[in-house]
């Protein structure tokens, strides 16, 4: 008799970021948790010598500010968020030709809907009932080769041009390259992973799914995936690794 009442989903999340074998960490994370929206933001800076960190931190700070101040929603809001981040990073560059840039991926949850967008090769993975559903497609040379059928998607992780990006925040744009997903209605059992390439290149989709199915909560899922990432990387050169996991209950 009370089926007219609307259930409110509980959303839990956890994050991690570490250097790998690099001398400094150029990844940045932000989580905005308000009554209106929950906005998860991850960026992977490029350029070295600290310029990448400045770019990624500037981008996530800008995205957080947009999320807090904007009254927009959906794809319009996400496009605005990336445009503003592009402007903020570009303004920080002392030299327009300087190699200071960043990737960025965001997840926006408002009420009972979720939508995500990205520029570069930081990814979002979406799982439903512990099953892998989809991930964002990189703005990279290997992804372009996948799109035209020259290589398989499984070859992206170890392709020699893996780090060759077609779009980033900080370099000039010819139109907004931000790719926004369709808006989905969230359900109990949905899970999301936002991560930098240093994280996803060391763990396969199927293993993410397997660990998710065995994890009682979001913290355990992230902890166990992080251990797997470190194990697979071994003693090899390892990029900065960052991830945000989100559970819908």
- Domains delineated in the chain: 11-233+240-248 (3.60.40.10)
- Return the pLDDT at 155: 82
Pairing mode, strands 27-33 and 123-128: unpaired
HSE (side-chain half, CA atoms, 13 Å) at 37: 28
Helix ranges (DSSP H) in the chain: 51-69, 74-92, 141-147, 197-200, 205-214, 218-233
Q: Which residues contact 24 (CB under 8 A, 6 or more apart)?
A: 50, 53
- Return the pLDDT at 118: 98
Task: Tell me which residue of 80, 52, 39 sits closest to 170, measured CA to CA.
Answer: 52
Our CA angle for 158, 153, 200, nearest 5°, is 60
Backbone angles phi, psi at 174, to 5 degrees: -110, 80
Question: CA-CA distance, 49 to 225, in Å (whole number)?
Answer: 29
- Return the pLDDT at 152: 85
Give pLDDT < 70 ranges for the chain: 1-7, 47-50, 94-98
Q: What is the pTM of this model?
A: 0.93
- Return the pLDDT at 196: 96
Q: Which two tokens stand for residue 247?
A: 């559970």
Secondary structure letter of residue 140 according to DSSP? B
Q: Which residues contact 227 (CB under 8 A, 6 or more apart)?
A: none
- Return the pLDDT at 229: 96
């Amino acid at each position: 008799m009370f089926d007219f009442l609307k259930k409110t989903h509980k959303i839990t999340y956890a994050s991690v970021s570490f250097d790998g074998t690099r001398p400094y960490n150029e990844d940045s994370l932000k989580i905005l948790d308000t009554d209106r929206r929950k906005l998860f933001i991850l960026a992977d800076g490029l350029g070295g010598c600290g310029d990448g960190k400045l770019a990624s931190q500037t981008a996530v700070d800008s995205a957080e500010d947009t999320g807090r101040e904007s009254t927009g929603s959906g794809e319009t809001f996400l496009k605005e968020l990336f445009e503003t981040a592009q402007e903020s990073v570009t303004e920080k560059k002392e030299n327009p030709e300087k190699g200071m840039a960043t990737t960025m991926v965001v997840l926006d949850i408002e009420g009972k809907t979720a939508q995500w967008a990205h520029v570069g090769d930081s990814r979002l993975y979406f799982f439903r009932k512990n099953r892998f559903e989809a991930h964002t497609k990189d703005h990279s040379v290997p992804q372009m080769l996948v799109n035209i059928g020259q290589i398989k998607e499984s070859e992206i992780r170890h392709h020699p041009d893996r780090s060759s990006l077609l779009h980033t925040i900080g370099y000039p744009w010819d139109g907004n390259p931000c790719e926004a997903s369709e808006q989905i209605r969230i359900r109990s059992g949905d899970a999301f992973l936002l991560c930098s390439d240093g994280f996803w290149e060391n763990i396969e989709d199927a293993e993410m799914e397997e660990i998710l199915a065995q994890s009682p909560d979001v913290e355990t899922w992230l902890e166990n995936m992080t251990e797997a990432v470190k194990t697979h990387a071994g003693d090899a050169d390892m990029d900065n690794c960052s991830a945000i996991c989100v559970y819908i209950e």
